[in-house]
Amino acid sequence: MTMVSPSLLSADFGNLQRDIEMLNNSECDWFHLDVMDGVFVPNISFGFPVMKAMAEHAQKPLDVHLMIVQPEKFIKEVKALGAKVMNVHYEACTHLHRVIQQIKAEGMLAGVTLNPHTPVSVLEEIAPDLDLVMLMSVNPGFGGQKFIEHSVGKTRKLRELLDRTQSKALIEIDGGVNRSTGKLLVEAGADILVAGSAVFNAPNPTEEILALKHL
């Protein structure tokens, strides 16, 4: 069964506790938290005080996605939130292997995210060390964007690379995910779907989560 990690970036920030409780009572697997710094991506989202409040109410594991420069500076802060997954961008880490080892040393699952223009081949040497690879299927920085179609083929290539390198890493996809794109991604080898607008703008978000899990 596909895992679903709803993106809190699309939640109603005026009613954040209500939306978190809705997710707690849903079949979703993780909470996806998008941290943006206005430097690595052209937007600013939320930081640690807001995430701390989210973590206090969340009853599902936290999937923290850092779209920031020098993410390695915040490994201990992410751990202090109680995060299960820490996701850093390949494009933001000069010494990626070291960062992955530091994340694992704190007891978190280590994920690497690739922007749409970055080929999966860059992970050839590090794939066996990873717990998770996330592909951006939109350009990072904003919610509600249109799905980039070639992400389906890229997911397939990533699945082949992970199988070839005997990596146990899960494949997570973030951006423009809905029932139709999600079905294609799962068929291509995706394990986890990040969905923001598709969940929070649905007439019945909990039903939408259930539908995404059973594509």
pLDDT tens for each residue of 154-207: 999 999 999 999 999 999 999 999 999 999 999 999 999 999 999 999 999 999
Task: Determine whether 34 is an active site residue.
Answer: yes
Q: For residue range 77-98, what is the model confidence (pLDDT) as tens digits?
A: 999 999 999 999 999 999 999 9
Quote the CA–CA distance of 137 and 66 in Å, as a whole number.
16
Maximal CA-CA distance, the chain = 46
**Does the pLDDT at position 144 exceed 80?**
no
**Residues 122, 127, 132, 136, Cα dihedral to 10°:** 10
Q: Which DSSP helix (H) or strand (E) runs through 162?
A: helix 151-164
Cβ count within 10 A of residue 34: 25
* Catalytic annotation, pick one of 19, 63, 131, 174: 174
**Residue 140: predicted pLDDT:** 83
E strands along 46-106, which residues? 62-67, 85-89
The 3-state DSSP class for residue 182 equals helix
Q: Which residue among 34, 37, 131, 163 is the active-site one?
A: 34
> Quick one: pLDDT at residue 141?
76
pTM, to two decimals: 0.96
Annotation says 174 is catalytic: yes
Q: Name the residue with tokens 């993780």.
A: 30
Residue 7, domain CATH: 3.20.20.70
Residue with tokens 């409780």: 21
One DSSP character per residue, 12-44 reads -GGGHHHHHHHHHTSS---EEEEEEBSSSSS-B
- Give the total number of structural domains in the chain: 1
End-to-end CA distance of the chain: 8
Domain of 83 in residue numbering reads as: 3-213
